[in-house]
Amino acid sequence: MFNHNTAPIFNSLLKHKKKVKGNFHVPGHKKATAFDKKGLSWFKKILQIDFTEVGDLDDLYQATGCIKDALQLAADAFLAEHTFFLVGGTTAGILAAIFATTKKDNNLLIQRTSHQAVFNGCLLKGIHPYILTPKFNSKTYLELPLDVNYLEDVLKKNQKISAVLITSPSYYGVVQPLKDIAYCCHKQKIPLIVDEAHGAHFSFSKDLPPSAMEANADISIQSTHKTLTSMTMSSMLHLKSNYIKKEDIAYWLSIFQSSSPSYPLLASLDLTRRYMMTKGQKQLPKTLNFLKEFRKQITKLKFLKEVKSKYPTDPFKMLLTTKPFHLSGFTLAKLLQQWGCFVELADLDKVLFYFSLGTKLRELKYLSKILQKIDSLIPKLKKEQKIAPLSFESKELTSNSFKMFDVKNGEFVTLPLQKALGKITAKMLIPYPPGIPLILPGQLFTKNIITYIETFLFKGGIIKGLIDTKPATVLVIKEEV
């Protein structure tokens, strides 16, 4: 039986702080004795516990003490056999999972709508992913749940697939049928990896979709800082598998993560687990009720409408669009910012609100008032043309001229985007957020892709991977003369 009232890493940091008389090791700020004067009032307390692997503070990569205890508590809380703390974000966990489950002559089966970290993992490992083509709702533009029969057919026809990597929930809150997907994978003796960056809260309420661990996935990588309460960049990887060894995951994490992990980040993960097990899971139903009441207010608005799916979604996310008077998500986001409300994401069609246990009733009441004001303003604004996003079902976004990892060996040139038509891109171009590559290395710039990028930038969006933005400049494969 585990005692979830304790926080082993945090407690050890406090004990060590009391012991220290002479601090003759890194970090150089020496418990905040040397630090910027203006910043000190904000950083002082956290710097007091910013230690390294000394005394009884254990070692993340060879844990025998407080870190080992914290990891066991986390595994129990998140229904895993083994848990790893990540101080390089969920990205580090995704890379480790890919390297632990694939070889150079294998394929990794992934969704085309995967995060850039998944594609980067394939590039680094030198494998060409087999891409599952997603389906989308033509009205909401939301991705539809994966057809498990389609997945099973792909696995039967491709014997070199060594692992399947699925994103659930998506950035927009779409939940995949993970239990059926896991069953399908295990029938073929293939592990299921779930990028569950946005679903760390699912483990703590029956009113939420089942977590990846509950659905029998082999690996779940969660951005604990996104939906729970740990510090930014701190995440967890959970493992429960007959196909993947914990030693393999540990090995690759020791390579992809810093050899000097942040103890404040580790402690924040430890404290998040304690908070969720002692208070958070009791607070979840209350917060869900707040959100339910808030959504009732939204239904009364004339032009602002919630984008809904008939399939399971995360209730902690809300998508708003305008109907019938269309405004882009970028315009909505700017209007909200005028009243001090900042959204998680804006795109050509909608905005995304990201709620959590930290969202208070007073904030929702304030937001409700602001949305009423914006709703009344909408007909007085200039109507915008509705532009559908590029469909990831199209061949231009799924087919490659040659394999991604081969691109690394080519010669590159920079070109204005306008002159890139028919050229092969050398870099991913990634609308951010959500971090899903619009175009992958090895794919051709088409007229549709160029127009979409130009429109996205003009409306106020950010696209990572451009060499420059004014004018938009891209990196392409140099053509042989």
* Residue-wise burial string across 377-399, b where 16 or more C-beta atoms lie within 10 A, e elsewhere: ebeeeeeeeebeebebeeebbee
Pairing type for strands 317-322 and 345-346 reads unpaired
| pLDDT for the residue numbered 401 | 67
pLDDT tens per residue, range 233-272: 999 999 999 999 999 999 999 999 999 999 999 999 999 9
Using the predicted structure, report yes or no on whether residue 135 has a pLDDT greater than 90: yes
Pairing mode, strands 430-431 and 463-464: antiparallel
Distances (CA, A) of 43 to 78, 230, 290: 31, 17, 33
User: Is residue 166 predicted with pLDDT exceeding 80?
Assistant: yes
User: Could you give the CA distance from residue 163 to residue 132 in angstroms, rounded to a whole number?
Assistant: 13
State the fold for domain 8-277.
Aspartate Aminotransferase; domain 2 (3.40.640)
Report pLDDT for 98. 98
Task: Give the residue among 118, 110, 88 at the shortest CA–CA distance from 434.
Answer: 118
Work out the pLDDT band at 105, boundaries 50, 70, 90. Answer: confident
**184-202: per-residue pLDDT in tens?**
999 999 999 999 999 999 9
pLDDT for the residue numbered 235: 98
- The 3-state DSSP class for residue 90 equals helix
Give the position of tokens 């924040």.
268
Strand-pair category, 472-477 with 412-416: antiparallel
For the beta carbon of residue 247, count every other beta carbon within 10 angstroms: 8
Backbone angles phi, psi at 472, to 5 degrees: -60, 125
Q: Residues near 431 by Cβ (< 8 Å), separated by ≥ 6?
A: 347, 438, 456, 461, 462, 463
Q: What is the pLDDT of residues 408-449, one digit of tens each?
A: 777 899 999 999 999 999 999 999 999 999 999 999 999 999
Check: CB of residue 134 under 8 Å from CB of residue 392.
yes
Residue 143, burial from CB neighbour count under 10 angstroms (0-12, 13-18, 19+)? buried
Q: Identify the pLDDT of residue 398.
A: 83
At 58, list the tokens: 């254990």
How distant, in Å, are the alpha carbons of 160, 250, 400, 466 from that of 247?
23, 5, 35, 38
> Domain coordinates of the chain in residue numbers?
8-277, 299-380, 395-477
Q: What is the mean pLDDT of the chain?
A: 95
AA letter at 480: E
- Residue 124 above 60 pLDDT? yes
Q: What is the pLDDT of residues 365-400, one digit of tens each?
A: 999 999 999 999 999 999 999 998 888 888 888 877
CA separation, residue 457 to residues 150, 156, 462 (Å): 35, 42, 6
pLDDT higher than threshold 60 for residue 481: no
Closest CA to 216 of 240, 249, 187, 188: 240
Topology alike, domains 8-277 and 299-380: no
* DSSP label of 277: I
The DSSP bridge pattern shows strands 192-195 and 161-167 to be parallel
**H/E run at residue 77:** helix 66-77
Cα dihedral sign for 16, 17, 22, 23? Answer: positive
User: Coil, strand or helix: which one is 431?
Assistant: strand
Contacting residues for 419 by C-beta, under 8 A, at least 6 apart: none
Please, where are the H alpha helices in 230-320?
246-256, 263-275, 281-298
| Whole-structure pTM value | 0.96
Token pair of 84, please?
A: 């790893």
CATH of domain 299-380: 3.90.1150.10
Query: According to the model, what pLDDT value does residue 144 have?
Result: 96
Q: How many CB atoms lie within 10 A of CB 110?
A: 24
Q: Whole-angstrom Cα distance, residue 428 to residue 407?
A: 11
Q: Does residue 464 surpass a pLDDT of 90? A: yes
Q: Which fold has domain 395-477?
A: Ornithine Decarboxylase; Chain A, domain 4 (3.90.100)
